[in-house]
Structure 1
Amino acid sequence: MRGAFSRQDSQPWRPHVTIQNKVTADAARQLHQALEGKFEPRPGTVTGLLVWEYFGGPWRPVRRLPLA
């Protein structure tokens, strides 16, 4: 699928949770500072992937891909 994704979406997979989106850099820094001292990593298991699409909103689930 080379060339089918934007540069941002072509980056290596780094699982994460999005807490904020489309906020100012200052707002993001403030929240990061407030949360970083409370963060505790914990183990987890990936059981599958969810595919979503967004064409101006809202997000819509498209497919569930379970992992064997």
Structure 2
Amino acid sequence: MNTFEEHLSKLFIGGVHFSFGLFAITLGLIVLFFSIGRLARRLENYLTPEEKPQDEFHGLIF
């Protein structure tokens, strides 16, 4: 427990420093994740043909 107390006290005494590099990497990963999801949705709509409505007599043999 003493080890954690030392690290926590140093953190609170020194303050938390904002890292622009870490922020940029995190933001980039989030944007990449949503872009891949959007691209997958567009590809799914492009690759799967839309079903055409069929009339009730389609396929009946008289």
- TM-score by structure 2 length? 0.28
**Which structure dedicates a bigger proportion of its chain to helix?**
2
**Which structure dedicates a bigger proportion of its chain to strand?**
1
Larger radius of gyration: 2
- TM-score by structure 1 length? 0.27
